[in-house]
Amino acid sequence: MLLQLFHVWRDFFIVTATAGATLIGAMFVVVSIAVGILTRDRSAAAHAYLTSTLVHLGAVLLASLLTMAPSVTWLSFAVVLTVGGAIGVVYVAVLATTVHRFRVDWTDTLWYTGLPVIGYAGLAAAGILGFIANFHAVELLAAASVLVLICGVHNAWDMILAFAARPRPPAKE
């Protein structure tokens, strides 16, 4: 039954996996734009913002790929999502302490920690529903994945704008 359910959702999860993978690649472009801005003095900020965005996009990619595994069972679905979602919640909680140190405005707190923690909790909840083979688990997985993906897209765009707005250091001869 689970594989039939995934078949119905196949195109959706292909699109989310593709979006996550494409945006991970685009993050390499973001880093190349910021090559003069990312210094050792800013390594904590780079970790908080760049790494967390890659983690969010990677989580979407992995969750989507889970639905395409030919041998996935309700148990493996439940375990992977529950553990992965719980790890995501803990990661974002630790990240929140780092983001808080930068005294950012409320929108950064919302997009970098508030909404992602809801998304990861949704992934964990989808896993818990998977333990009882509840078909709503896949719907919850889809909703949580979209939330985390939207956070990744917003955060990547936010970083591009921030890096583009900063003056570049003079070129060395």
Tell me: the pLDDT tens digits for 134-165? 999 999 999 999 999 999 999 888 887 877 77
pTM as predicted = 0.88
Of the candidates 64, 46, 12, 56, the one whose C-alpha atom is nearest the C-alpha of residue 153 is 56
Average pLDDT in the chain: 88
* DSSP-derived secondary structure letter, 69: -
Position 167 scores a pLDDT of: 65
Across 62-66, 97-101, 108-112, 142-146, least confident range: 97-101
% of the chain surpassing 70 pLDDT = 89
pLDDT at 122 over 80: yes
Give Cβ neighbours of residue 44 (< 8 Å, ≥ 6 apart).
98, 101
CA quadruple 145, 84, 90, 21: dihedral, nearest 10: -50
Please, are residues 154 and 168 in contact by the beta-carbon 8 Å criterion?
no
Averaged pLDDT, 59-81 = 95
Question: CA 48, CA 110: separation in Å to the nearest integer?
Answer: 14
pLDDT digits (tens, 9 = 90+) for 22-35: 999 988 887 776 66
Please name the amino acid found at residue 135.
F
